[in-house]
């Protein structure tokens, strides 16, 4: 929200009066004087007019969760446990998910109350890598990597997927790196070869890797470096 709009929400200050106060250097955002009425302020920032506190600023929360199989990536569900049920945090209902995982997919899930941050890591235009361990029913041959690197045509969306990287780890296991997030994309890509995915685990989103010390169902706060990487 623009700083002048935030100030003018008070019945004491008109929009014109708000702009004059800001231009006079009487507003501080996180302790710094701001003179631009168009300055964007988030709900996480502290805003003061002289010695009066206008907005205390909410605490931004950023969590990494090792999602287990069988838990729904949702805030509520009638018949399954949700990822929020795994969190022992008083403000967990203010959180939203940055990139969901299917019921039977495990691995890295990010949660935050900072909507701008979540959108940055999930926007398709960002093309941030998403890395998955994939186990399949049938053997995986080398030609999978060639096809994935060229892109696959999805008739339903009438589009060709972005080039993806495939690293063979065994006869039935591979590491797949995607740069987009289409509906059931991994399963549909392997389905092109009529090879069913039997296990799927996300290891990485952008520069954030799943902490190997987290057991399924455990979580931790993101580090400052992990937050800044987005």
Cβ(135)–Cβ(169) under 8 Å? no
**Residue 44, CA distances (Å) to 58, 83, 116, 188 in order:** 5, 24, 11, 40
Annotated catalytic, 211?
no
Q: What are the residues whose beta carbons fall under 8 Å from the beta carbon of 209, sequence distance 6 or more?
A: 108, 203
Cβ(7)–Cβ(22) under 8 Å? yes
The alpha carbon of 221 is separated from its chain's Cα centroid by a whole number of angstroms, namely 14
Residue 100 is encoded by which pair of tokens?
């969901």
Cα 118 from Cα 94, distance rounded (Å):
13
* Among 30, 78, 85, 102, the one annotated catalytic: 102
Active site residues: 102
């Amino acid at each position: 929200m623009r700083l002048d709009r935030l100030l003018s929400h008070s019945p004491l200050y008109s929009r014109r009066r708000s702009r004059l106060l800001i231009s006079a250097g009487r507003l501080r955002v996180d302790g710094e004087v701001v003179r631009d009425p168009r300055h964007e302020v988030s709900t996480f920032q502290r805003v003061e007019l002289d010695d009066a506190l206008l907005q205390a600023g909410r605490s931004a929360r950023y969590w990494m969760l090792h999602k287990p199989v069988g838990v729904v990536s949702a805030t509520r569900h009638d018949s399954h446990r949700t990822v929020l049920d795994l969190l022992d945090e008083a403000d967990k209902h203010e959180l939203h998910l940055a990139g969901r995982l299917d019921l039977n997919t495990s691995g890295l899930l990010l949660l935050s109350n900072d909507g701008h941050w979540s959108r940055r890591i999930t926007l398709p235009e960002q093309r941030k890598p998403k890395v998955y361990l994939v186990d399949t029913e049938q053997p995986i041959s080398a030609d999978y990597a060639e096809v994935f690197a060229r892109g696959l045509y999805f008739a339903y969306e009438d589009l060709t997927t972005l080039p993806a990287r495939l690293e063979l780890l065994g006869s039935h296991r591979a590491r797949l790196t995607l740069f987009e997030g289409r509906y059931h994309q991994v399963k549909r890509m392997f389905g092109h070869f009529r090879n069913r995915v039997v296990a799927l685990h996300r290891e990485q989103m952008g520069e954030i890797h799943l902490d190997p010390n987290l057991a399924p169902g455990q979580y931790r706060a993101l580090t400052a470096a992990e937050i800044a990487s987005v």
